[in-house]
Amino acid sequence: MAVTLRFGPADLLRCRFGMSAAFETVSAIRLTSPEEGAGHHQRWLDAARPRLAGLDLRPVTLLQPRRGYAPDFLAPPPTGPLVRFDEDLARIAATPPERVRAEIGLSLRDTPGAADSPTGRLLLGDPAEVLRLLTGLLREAWHALVEPVWPRVRALLDADVGFQSRRLAEGGLDRLFAELHPALRWQDHTLTRARGDDDHRDLRGEGLLLMPSVFKWDQVVVVLDPPWQPAVIYPARGIGALWEPARGTPDAALARLIGRTRAALLTGLTGPATTTALAHRHALAAGTVSEHLTILRDAGFVVGERHRHEIRYRRTALGDAATHPGR
C-alpha cells in the first residue's frame, strides 16, 4: 500500500512551500484526544491543559480519524508561504453550508459508530449552526493551544522551509526528496509515500505543495482532493528539540549527566523509531544519531529490535526510569 505522485516536466516548475496556522491548530486539537499519543509534544500538552478547562473539543477531534478523511474546510490550503490565523478562520467561516454537510458526512463514515454518537448527531445538524460551532472552537483552541507557542512553532517551520529550499536550490528535486522524510522515496520522477492508502496521481502540471508541520508530527499526509493543490504535509525537521527543558528540571539534569543530544534522543523516544526517523526529528545526521544510540544501548537505556528490514529503537525500563524520575 502506497501513494505515488508522478512528476512531468511542468510539475518541476510548480513545486512550492507553504505553512498553515489553521492546519497546525486542527492538528494540535487532535493531540488533546485521549486516543492519541502526544509523543514528544507531551511537555507542551501538559502546559496547555489548564487553558483547556471547560473547552469541549470533541466535535473537532471526531472529524480527524486516524485513518480516513478529515474535512478540508477546517484547514483551507495555504495561498502563500504563511497565512495569518485570522485570515484562515475567515475562509473557514465562509464555507458554503452544503460543503460543510457533505464533508462532515464523509468524515464520520470513516469512524465506525461516529455518526450515531451524541457528538456525531450534533455535527449532522443544521450545517450553518455546526459551522459556527466549529469556527468558535477553532478560535478558542488557537488561543489556548497554539498562539502562546506560535513564535517558537513558526520559527521551526521557517527553519525547515529554509533548509529544504537550500537543498532544492543546490540539487533539485533529487536532493530535496532524498531526505525530506523517512516515509518518502524518490525514484524515476515519482514520489512515493510508503504505508497508508493506495493511490496514484499523474500530476500533469499541477505541481506539488510541500508543507512542514509541527503538530502533525507522526505521519506524512498526502492531499489530492480539491480545493488543495496536490500536497505533501510532513513533520518539520527538528521537532524533537522544540520543547527543550528549562534549567533545573529533571530533564535538564539528565542532559548534564549523559549529554544534551543523548538526553533529547532518549526523552523523545516515546515509541519505537528508526535511526533515520530520529535523525529527521532532531535535525541530526544519521551517523550522529547511530553513534549516540550505540552509547545509549551499551548503557542499557535503549534496545534495538528488528522490524522487517529496519531496526527500531525503544527505551528500556532503565531508560523510562531515567526520563521519568520518581514514577
Q: Are the CB atoms for 82 and 155 separated by under 8 Å? A: no
261 and 312 assigned to the same domain: yes
Note if the pTM is more than 0.85.
no
Give yes or no for residue 45 having a pLDDT over 80.
Answer: yes
Q: Of 181, 210, 237, which marks where a domain is finished?
A: 237
Q: Does pLDDT of 248 surpass 80?
A: no
Ranking 101-115, 236-250, 270-284, 307-321 by mean pLDDT, the lowest is 236-250
Q: How many domains does the chain have?
A: 3
Identify the domain boundary among 149, 169, 190: 149
- pLDDT tens for 83-107 read 789 999 999 999 999 999 999 999 9
Does residue 127 share a domain with residue 32?
yes
By three-state DSSP, how is residue 296 classified?
helix
How far is it, in rounded angstroms, from Cα 272 to Cα 241?
18
256 and 108 fall within a common domain:
no
What does the pLDDT look like over 66-87, one tens digit per residue?
788 899 999 999 987 777 899 9
CB 246 within 8 A of CB 271: no
Domain ranges, residue 291:
244-323
- 222 and 165 share a domain? yes
Structure confidence by residue, pLDDT tens digits, 182-203: 889 999 999 999 876 778 999 9
Domain end point (choices 90, 122, 149): 149
